[in-house]
Amino acid sequence: MNAPLRRRHQLAFAVLAVLLPAGFVLALLGRSGDAYSADLPADPRAAGTLEPLVPGAGRTLELRGDGAAWIARVDADRVALSQARGVARPDLHAYWSGQLVVDELPADARLLGAVSRAERTFALPALQGTLVLFSLAHGEIVAHGSLAEAR
């Protein structure tokens, strides 16, 4: 009774011993190539790097919320965002939306990037709209302000 079962297991292990390494080699050969620097976009905005705004340049917008404040300096096609006071939040991200923001991120919200205490410059999809600071850890909007209100 055990002999036929042993033969079946022996056959199964022999087949797997051949098929698994062959499948692994085929998977390695079939994978796509790595990305090279020549494949990256030439536009620096598409790569996520922007030249910072000149100090003092642009219109200023102050965003307040949760015991902290952030300063946004808005230029023609970018925004420089930095934390002015309060405790830095490691999970804070900046979004742009063309809609009015109430309690949650609108469907058209576009991620600009992570916000830190140091100033970071982001590309704006459009000059009109709302700048939103969203906490990923808490799943809530921390602050928001209309770009039209920037002075």
The torsion angles phi and psi of 39, rounded to 5 degrees, stand at -85, -15
Q: State which H helix or E strand residue 5 sits in.
A: helix 2-30
Q: State which H helix or E strand residue 130 sits in.
A: strand 130-135
- Identity at 128, one-letter amino acid code: Q
Quote the mean pLDDT of the chain.
Answer: 78
Query: What pLDDT was estimated at residue 129?
Result: 81
Residue 54's pLDDT band (cuts 50, 70, 90): low
Instruction: Answer whether 0.85 is exceeded by the pTM.
Output: no
Spell out the domain ranges in the chain. 49-149
Q: Which residues contact residue 151 at a Cβ distance below 8 angstroms, ignoring those fewer than 6 apart?
A: 59, 60, 61
Q: Which of 2-11, 58-67, 71-80, 97-106: highest mean pLDDT?
A: 2-11
Query: What pLDDT was estimated at residue 141?
Result: 81
d(CA 11, CA 123): 61
* Cα angle for residues 86, 88, 91 (degrees, 5° grid): 135
CATH assignment of 49-149?
A: 2.60.40
What six digits make up the tokens of 5? 């079962």
pLDDT tens figures, 21-51:
999 999 988 887 665 555 555 554 444 556 6
pLDDT tens figures, 75-127:
877 788 878 787 777 788 888 888 777 778 888 888 888 887 777 888 787 77
d(CA 122, CA 139): 22
- Strands of 16-139 (E only): list them: 59-65, 68-74, 78-85, 92-97, 110-114, 120-123, 130-135
What six digits make up the tokens of 47? 């790569």
Do 89 and 142 meet the contact criterion of CB atoms below 8 Å apart?
Answer: yes
Do 81 and 116 meet the contact criterion of CB atoms below 8 Å apart?
Answer: no
